[in-house]
Structure formats: structure tokens, C-alpha cells
Amino acid sequence: MPTSHEIVSVIRQLDKAPERQLKIRHTSVTQCLLNHDWVYRWESVLNLAGMQPLPKMQARKRALKDLFAKAEEDYVERQTSGVR
């Protein structure tokens, strides 16, 4: 793990690695969409309470999955076209 003293070096290395930047960005977006939205936490609370999720929660999860699908398409397109 880099220290704060190495931050300039780390940033320079990332500047030279657009493919790595693309992968990092893609991983961050997909993790947010599929794991870190409030809907997943609220769903856990409801499960612990023995309650069923409301229809709006299901709609939110579908919308997040749709965004994920678009992010996947964009990622593949950027990988193949070299566009960053």
C-alpha cells in the first residue's frame, strides 16, 4: 500500500496506465451499483425483521441492474476502441 509520501509517484504511474484507470473506474462503478446502494442495506434490514421488500425497492434494484448493464456495454466498448 503506498504511503502519502509516494502519492506523486502513484499518480504518475496511473497517468501512464489508461487501461488500469479504466479497470479501476469500472470496478468502482459496478461495486456501487450492485453492492453499495442504500437499497441493499435496507433490504438486509427488512430481511432481518422478516419483512418482504416493497415494490419500489424491487424497481430500484432493477434500475441499478439496468445501469450496470449500460456500464458493462460502455466498458467493453472503451476496451475495444481504445477510448478512455
Q: How many domains does the chain have?
A: 1
For residue 32, give its domain range.
4-81
User: What pLDDT digit, counting tens, does each position of 39-65 carry?
Assistant: 999 999 999 999 998 899 999 999 999
Report the distance separating Cα 22 and Cα 68, nearest Å. 15
For residue 16, what pLDDT band results from cuts at 50, 70 and 90?
very high
Closest to 74 in 3D by CA, of 60, 84, 64? 84
Query: 14-40: b or e for each residue (b if 16 or more CB lie within 10 Å)?
Result: eeeeeeeebeeebeebeeebeeebebe
Which 3 state secondary structure label does DSSP give 1?
coil
